[in-house]
């Protein structure tokens, strides 16, 4: 409806959520780009991060959630980027993280305070380990002989 009214639609997608799995992650992106009900003009891709003090952190700590390995995550992002049609702009491939923890880092309840949009790397317990995920994924695409937008 927004696209029909002349608006650009930029979608935010989050692979590696609990209980999904690699094949289902890939399938949702195939559907996302092939189904005319979706087909965004732009996309921001945010692989799941496990942040201390969250419900997902508790699942991860108890072993009920496990992030993709760094190598598997690069493969997944490469496969997703290879699916992106030429008219879809990829604005971002991961959440920006920063090295220092802002002070005060924890609220009175012990929950991390994250001002702004950057997530302090020390609060990330599992998930993306490097800041150049797009670059790594594009290199993987070239290694596999595929093209990407």
pLDDT in tens, 62-79: 999 999 998 999 999 999
Q: Which residue has the tokens 């290879």?
A: 82
Share of the chain above pLDDT 90, in %: 47
CA distance 43 to 81: 10
Contact 119, 96 (CB under 8 A): yes
Q: What number of other Cβ atoms are within 10 A of residue 94's Cβ? A: 20
**39-62 residue pLDDT tens:** 999 999 999 988 888 899 999 999
Please return the burial class of 36, using the count of CB atoms within 10 Å of its CB with bins 0-12, 13-18 and 19+: exposed
pTM reported for the whole predicted model: 0.76
């Amino acid at each position: 409806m927004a696209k029909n009214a002349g608006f650009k639609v930029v979608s935010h997608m989050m692979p590696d959520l609990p209980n999904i799995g690699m094949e289902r992650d890939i399938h949702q992106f195939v559907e996302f780009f092939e189904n005319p009900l979706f087909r965004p003009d732009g996309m921001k891709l945010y692989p799941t991060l496990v942040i201390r003090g969250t419900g997902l952190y508790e699942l991860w700590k108890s072993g009920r959630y496990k992030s993709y390995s760094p190598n598997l995550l690069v493969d997944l992002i490469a496969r997703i980027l290879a699916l992106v049609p030429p008219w879809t702009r990829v604005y971002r491939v991961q959440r920006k993280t920063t090295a220092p923890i802002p002070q005060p880092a924890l609220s009175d309840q012990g929950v991390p305070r994250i001002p702004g949009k950057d997530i302090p790397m020390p609060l990330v317990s599992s998930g993306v380990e490097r800041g150049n995920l797009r670059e790594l994924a594009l290199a993987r695409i070239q290694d596999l002989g595929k093209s990407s937008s």
